[in-house]
Amino acid sequence: MRLEEHLADCDEDLKELILRIGNVCKTIASGFASHQTYSDTQNIYGEQQMALDKWADEVIIADLKKSGIVKYLASEEQPEVLKFKGTGSLGVTLDPLDGSSLIDVNLAVGTIVGIYRGRVLAPGKEMIGAMYVLYGPLTTLTYTVKKGVHDFVLNPDGEYVLMKENIKIPEGKIFAPGALRKNYLPGHLKWMETLESQGYKIRFSGSFVADVHQILHKGGVFTYPGYVGKEQGKLRLLFEANPLGFIVEQAGGATSHGNGDILEVRPIAVSQRIPIYIGGKDEINLIEKINKEGLRT
Ligand code: F6P
Ligand code: MN
């Protein structure tokens, strides 16, 4: 089944947004070779080339600006929320190229999108949909509009076709832990040691979207915790944690910032960071339990 058919029951603007982003991500997927070669250098015509993440940001923003369906757009690459003229009412958060430090070593990176009906400076629970496109050996598109989580693959004819419908996060023993062990906070260290003693195996690529995609399909948990000197961690609430957390929750998993659901956090700034735990319910319950007990002693 083609993506367009799968979205048949969606609100028109939401359907158009997902299709548009899917389309513009085809441009990004096919532009890696030419843009990467010259990133941050001059091309043969003496023109300065943009880094790939900036280029991806511009390509997506230009497309959404002319779409007429988006009102607010917050991008990790932009200092301010953009407000577009017209009758559109959708709010979009964008991490145009997550994991972009891995491009030079040819590992998987992705585009992450959160979708709101209106303002984006809102708790993740208010999203009406979320999606990501992962550029790996295959280009895949994963989306939810709160009716299950579905995976599509870009086929050789340039069409996204259904690969897996109604994904449910399975039980699994993979963990993807960011940050340095020597800086772990006590509760996080205890949680890590508990998982290790239960036989969890580390798989951390350095690309959040790729690591969460693996967890979504194989079970386990992704974390980029808060740590000594950076208690809010590294990753961004609006651009990274919320969209992927929303997708994993829709697939039967859970999220936490260590002491509560990430999706319930009311953001005060678009660039806000947050400690992240995303994955199976058991692993998420465990970090919350350990942190609660820690507070009592
Ligand atoms: O967007 C930030 C990011 O590249 C994520 O994709 C990834 O999980 C993280 O940073 C990796 O951070 P570090 O380099 O500290 O392991
Ligand atoms: Mn990112």
Q: Tell me the C-alpha distance between 134 and 163, whole Å.
A: 14
User: What pLDDT score was predicted for residue 35?
Assistant: 73
pLDDT in tens, 45-101: 555 556 888 899 999 999 999 999 999 999 999 999 999 998 899 999 999 999 988
Q: Which CATH architecture has domain 3-164?
A: 2-Layer Sandwich (3.30)
What are the sequence ranges of the domains in the chain?
A: 3-164, 174-296
Containing 161, the helix (H) or strand (E) segment is strand 160-164
Residue 190: both structure tokens together: 């205890």
* Domain 174-296 in the same topology as domain 3-164: no
| pLDDT given at position 43 | 52
CA 40 to the chain's CA centroid: 25
Quote the mean pLDDT of the chain. 94
Q: The tokens of 196 are what?
A: 């290790």
- For the CA of 100, the closest atom of ligand 1 is 4
Does residue 206's CB lie within 6 angstroms of at least one atom of ligand 1? yes
- Quote the ligand 2 centre to 137 CA distance (angstroms): 20
Which of 118, 112, 174, 176 minimizes the C-alpha distance to 144?
112
At CA 126, angle to CA 124 and CA 127, rounded to 5? 75
Q: Are strands 254-256 and 276-279 parallel, antiparallel or unpaired?
A: antiparallel
Give the separation between CA 74 and CA 79, rounded to whole angstroms. Answer: 9
Q: Please report, to the nearest 10 degrees, the dihedral formed by the alpha carbons of residues 72, 74, 80, 86 taken in order.
A: -20
Reported as a single tens digit per residue, the pLDDT across 170-212 is 999 999 999 999 999 999 999 999 999 999 999 999 999 999 9
Taking the centre of ligand 1 as the mean of its atom positions, its distance from the CA of residue 95, in whole angstroms, is 12
Reply yes or no on whether the pLDDT at 297 is more than 60: no
- Separation between Cα atoms, residue 297 and residue 289, nearest integer Å: 13
Whole-prediction pTM? 0.96
Q: Is 99 in the pocket of ligand 1 (CB under 6 A)?
A: yes
Q: Under CATH, to which class is 174-296 assigned?
A: alpha beta
pLDDT band with cut points at 50, 70 and 90 for residue 265: very high
- pLDDT-based confidence at residue 268 (cuts at 50, 70, 90): very high
